[in-house]
Structure 1
Amino acid sequence: MKIKSIMISDLVVNRSNDRHGELENETAAIAWLFNQRETHMRNLTKDIVEKGGIFEMPLVAPEGEKYVVFDGNRRVTSLKLLASPRKAPNSDLQSFFIDQRARWTGHFPDTIQCQVEANRERIDAILFRRHTGTQNGVGQSTWDDRMKATFIERTGQSNGISVADEIEKRLKEADMLPGSKKIPRSTMNRLLSSEPFRNRLGFSVTKGRFEYTHNEDVSLSAMARVANDLANKKLVLGDIWDVDGKRKYLDDLEREGVLPNAAHTFSRHSPRHSAVSAKRNKSVTVARQIKRTTLIPQTDYGLIWPGRLQRHHHIWNELQFNLQLTEHPNAISVLFRVLLELSIENYIGQSGVIINDGDKLAARLIKVGKHLRTAGKIDDKQVGILTKFQQSDQLVSADTLNRYVHSPNFAPSPEHLASMWDSMASVICLCLQA
């Protein structure tokens, strides 16, 4: 541990704070704090002004010439906005910080002492042990269940099964461990912290049980490659700190042919697959008996959300958890169109699909569909549905979505909206995964 006096202007509010998951940048992170914790932020700022400083050093890590804050983001945000009130998210908050700065007694500090940790595994260990008690916003805010889940998904730390331990055990049995070098287990757990990433290596961990989803030999070979890259420091924690880093590494392995593919999935007739299928079919049957209340069914679609998709993620959550089909059909119809357009634009931007300036929504969707078909991610039937999107007499069409937004006489029904989602869900998910 190193204690260092750091310029407030050199501290960066963490865009990947576990309170909210990955956001686009520092400005978005500051805005989130006030959108979700404005009363706490005001109380904390008043306390800092009254006491003439902060009582606990922020926990930071060096990043280039700056320092990213891992604990103390609220304290640092208050100090940064007291130093520059005009950077507050809105005029009301700007006035508040101008008033609080005027109340400051004596010289306002340019620097504050921080705990500097270069080892991010140690940072995670510190974060895991700290977050208790709110003191009405003056102390550290307690993580709720979703925030704890975000931390566990990002880092792989939990009280349940250790993915790294399970992999190491299987590699040892197959005599495929990377020589005498140790595998950085915490880094491997971070890489494979969520099911979509585990599935790409050919296995799943659900309800504390490790299970192969693809050919065992191919999956073991992929695990051995990851273990070797970690043990030999070809892959380090900084490379996979966020979603985009994890995805990039796995994409590189896929391009090399290291990861299992569709041909390696278990046969439908294998005993292992039959047992898994029976279990899944049972779950589906139970799910169908539950009345659907939101546009997006409340099931796990296996999506991961990088910071650049923060708005997409917020809209998704509103459509999956907040807006009720029977009570908010108009709001749902508009947000459904927005989510579809944003998803398509994400796929175009990430995959390099060539779009003309005059291409409207239908034309863009068709081009995306053809690109997905060429990549083998959808079949001809799905392409046919997308091709008909430009026809006004179809259930799912650009004309229908336009009427939802602009027509005073075209009222969306919950049943129609649900059918449209069911028809487009797989393509939207693929676009968001790009």
Structure 2
Amino acid sequence: MGGMKQASMHVSSLVLDETNPRHAKQTSSLEESIAALLEKGPDKLLRLARNIVQHGLNPTELIVVMTNGSQNVVLEGNRRVATLKLLNKPSLAPTEPLQRKFAAIANSGVVPRRVQCVVAENRAQAAHWIRLRHTGENSGIGVVKWNSAEVSRFGGRSTPTEKARILTEAVSDLFAEDAELLKDVATVREARLTNLGRMIGDPEVRNRMGISFDGDVVLTSYPKGKLRPIISRLFQDLAGPVSVDKIKTKRQRNSYLQQVEDDLPKLAYRLDEPQKLANSTVGHDVGETTETSGSSDAPSKTSRRKRPDFEKRLFQSVSLRHVSLRTSEVLEEAKRISIDEMPNVAAIMVRIVVDIVVTDAAEQLGWKRNQADLKGRIGAALHQIDPAQDDSSLSDAWRFSQKDEGALVLKTLHSFVHSWQNNPLTSEVRKLSAAYGPLLSKVDELLEKKKR
């Protein structure tokens, strides 16, 4: 880096930059510098702290320091160094709750004591590189960010955005003769891929459209001819007037499905088994047989049922942004659990995730009534979210939480954790995950509304 050398330094020897551009005004002490960084969002530093303890410092981005007398002033990497100082000495945090949180994270793993640094003789020597690091692409010489498709390709097949990319490829292949549709697909792939991912990340949307995923294979439950209207409408809308603000919430996506009802395939044409969304037979639609079968829309059979991807993992379509940091992290970790491979862990986590989300909401919103047991906590959340009991997406959650069937379901949830004689069925776990997933999403939406 422009003649600068590398050196290993102890965290305690590093001094935060009091003229850090992140600060609105110059700070005058370590405590002031840390407080200024925390003011911009303590959750960000807490997440950074947890990542450092779990994975260490990012070896692809070294800290840049300037030697100033006996001091090593941090020119680049002040957030990382501040986080390390908080992990090594939580009392530097300005409030007791933050001190406890940083202490808990520090106790959960290994906190680095030394860091690899690049040493500059003065600010000018490092300025060029720091500017490139923080001021965008700079016509290609700076950091060129990945677009959503590139992020998705790196991240793997499980993300909604990557599933959206896979769907665009399958649609382009299946409807290669439809120039207008291909134009809309290209627009969505380049600029609206995350919007498509938001739509097909919703199990209800996938179910009504009749599509699912088996790894990187798109499956359809309808013949090509019956699928074309909704596929064309969806890509046309996403390429045009339907922005993310119109499909952000579950309720908005349900409203969209109602608007396109005439384009959705009718249940009468649903195939007995899902089939691959591709031109597997030249001249024939997916799921359609030859004319000798008597109907161009007659379904063909497959040897076994393919389970849609959203049934394989817990709460796969749920994303929580307004619950507490730890609650959202527990959910994200639970979503990695394969129901078929780890049914016992999955069963336990269904109960735990539902409980901590409704408890988190009760604490944040000050609910005091009906908090003594799980049934009461779930009931309190449902009454706050859907007092008229007219939200169809919550019908199973209501049914599983009330009267006779509710008592049985809640007893099952309890036994998943406390009864070692109970071997959970994967079908039970799947049913509960599907039933309570919408409740978790609605709780998060309610927290968002109350925080405004």
TM-score band by shorter chain is: 0.5 to 0.7
The alignment's TM-score, normalised by the length of structure 1, stands at 0.52
1:352-388 CA deviation, whole Å, 9 max, x = no partner?
Answer: 9x97723543134346678496222366897267423
CA contact (8 A) 2:136 2:144 kept: yes
Q: Write the letter of the residue equivalent to 1:387.
A: K
Q: Write the letter of the residue equivalent to 1:430.
A: P
Cα 1:376–1:127 change in 2 (3 A) is closer
Q: Write the letter of the residue equivalent to 2:201.
A: P
Please list, as runs of the form range in 1=range in 2, the aligned pairs for 1:2-401 lying within 5 A after superposition.
7-9=21-23, 25-38=43-56, 40=57, 77-81=79-83, 86=92, 90=102, 112-113=130-131, 114-117=133-136, 123-125=145-147, 128=150, 148-149=155-156, 153-154=160-161, 161-162=168-169, 172-173=179-180, 183=187, 185-193=189-197, 195-197=200-202, 199=206, 202=209, 204=211, 206=213, 207-209=216-218, 211=220, 216-229=228-241, 235=243, 240=244, 247-248=247-248, 251-252=251-252, 254-255=254-255, 259-260=259-260, 264-267=264-267, 269-270=268-269, 273-276=271-274, 279=302, 282-283=305-306, 298-299=312-313, 302-308=316-322, 310-314=328-332, 316-317=334-335, 320=338, 333=348, 335-344=349-358, 357-360=369-372, 361-366=374-379, 371=386, 374-377=390-393, 383=399, 386-388=402-404, 391=407, 394=408, 396-397=410-411, 401=414
1:197-247 CA deviation, whole Å, 9 max, x = no partner?
Answer: 5738836374455857676435533432222227xxxx4xxxx5xxxx685
Partner Cα separation in structure 2 for residue 419 and residue 208 of structure 1:
23
CA contact (8 A) 1:203 1:219 kept: no
Partner Cα separation in structure 2 for residue 83 and residue 379 of structure 1:
49
CA contact (8 A) 2:45 2:79 kept: no
CA contact (8 A) 1:344 1:368 kept: yes
Partner Cα separation in structure 1 for residue 23 and residue 169 of structure 2:
39
Cα-Cα RMSD: 6.2
Q: Write the letter of the residue equivalent to 2:370.
A: G
- Measured after TM superposition, the shift of residue 148 of structure 1 is 1.7
- Measured after TM superposition, the shift of residue 30 of structure 1 is 0.5
Q: Write the letter of the residue equivalent to 2:411.
A: S
The alignment's TM-score, normalised by the length of structure 2, stands at 0.51
Partner Cα separation in structure 1 for residue 265 and residue 359 of structure 2:
31
Partner Cα separation in structure 1 for residue 320 and residue 341 of structure 2:
23
- Measured after TM superposition, the shift of residue 26 of structure 1 is 1.0
Partner Cα separation in structure 2 for residue 416 and residue 159 of structure 1:
33
Q: Write the letter of the residue equivalent to 1:124.
A: W
Partner Cα separation in structure 1 for residue 144 and residue 80 of structure 2:
26
- 5+ residue gaps, structure 2: 1-18, 25-40, 94-98, 276-300, 443-452
Cα 1:170–1:156 change in 2 (3 A) is farther
The structure with the largest alpha-carbon Rg is: 2
Identity of aligned residues (%): 6
CA contact (8 A) 2:399 2:406 kept: no
CA contact (8 A) 1:171 1:224 kept: no
- Measured after TM superposition, the shift of residue 196 of structure 1 is 2.2
CA contact (8 A) 1:344 1:365 kept: yes
Q: How many residues align?
A: 341
Q: Which residue of 2 aligns with 1:15?
A: none
- 5+ residue gaps, structure 1: 11-22, 58-74, 130-142, 288-295
Q: Write the letter of the residue equivalent to 1:183.
A: T
Higher relative contact order (CA 8 A, sep 6+): 1
Q: Write the letter of the residue equivalent to 1:148.
A: G
- Measured after TM superposition, the shift of residue 191 of structure 1 is 1.6
Q: Which residue of 2 aligns with 1:292?
A: none
Q: Write the letter of the residue equivalent to 1:223.
A: F
Partner Cα separation in structure 2 for residue 107 and residue 96 of structure 1:
29
- Measured after TM superposition, the shift of residue 37 of structure 1 is 0.7
